[in-house]
Amino acid sequence: MNKLKSIFSFLFFSLTGIFFYACSKEAEQPIFSDKVKATLVVEVMHHQWTIPGIPVYLKKDATQFPGQNVSLYDYTLTTNQAGTVQFNKMLYGNYYLYVKGWDPVFQDTVIGYKPVVINDSSAAGGIVDDRIYVSE
């Protein structure tokens, strides 16, 4: 019985350690490139619905959230009827997305932000498909 407890304890703590080690993510290091380009397609979601007509801001060379001042962002596009935007010819690197606008379905202002890394592994076929969730 003690041997069974020892094995169980070993497995439990080993799996717990592996789980926490695997879930920890180090901060992204800046990626600088002037040669490789990709297309970034972003879908804006609020709950299960996409949001048409909402501005999407993109900051290049950013690994931390730049803040809510939209003048700090390098690119701005507005989502189409499907709730997506497409940033073309984006150099490989670190970017930050920021979305703030009006959700006509919920009749409320929504906000969301997240980092995006464009590199060889994320740009399969030269396209990065991403989704950003917004909330009230």
Pairing of strands 84-91, 93-103: unpaired
CB 33 within 8 A of CB 118: no
Per residue in 102-129, pLDDT (tens digit) is 999 889 999 999 999 999 888 888 899 9
Confidence check: pLDDT of 25 > 50: no
Helices (H), the chain: 2-23
The pairs formed by 63-66 with CB atoms below 8 angstroms and a separation of 24 or more are 63/27, 63/28, 63/29, 63/30, 63/94, 63/96, 63/115, 64/96, 65/96, 65/98, 65/113, 65/115, 66/96, 66/98
Domains of the chain: 37-133 (2.60.40.10)
Q: What is the pLDDT of residue 124?
A: 82
Q: How much is the pTM?
A: 0.74
Percent share of the chain, pLDDT over 90: 66
Q: What is 62-96 written as a DSSP string?
A: -SS---S-GGG-SEEEE--TTSEEEEEEEESEEEE
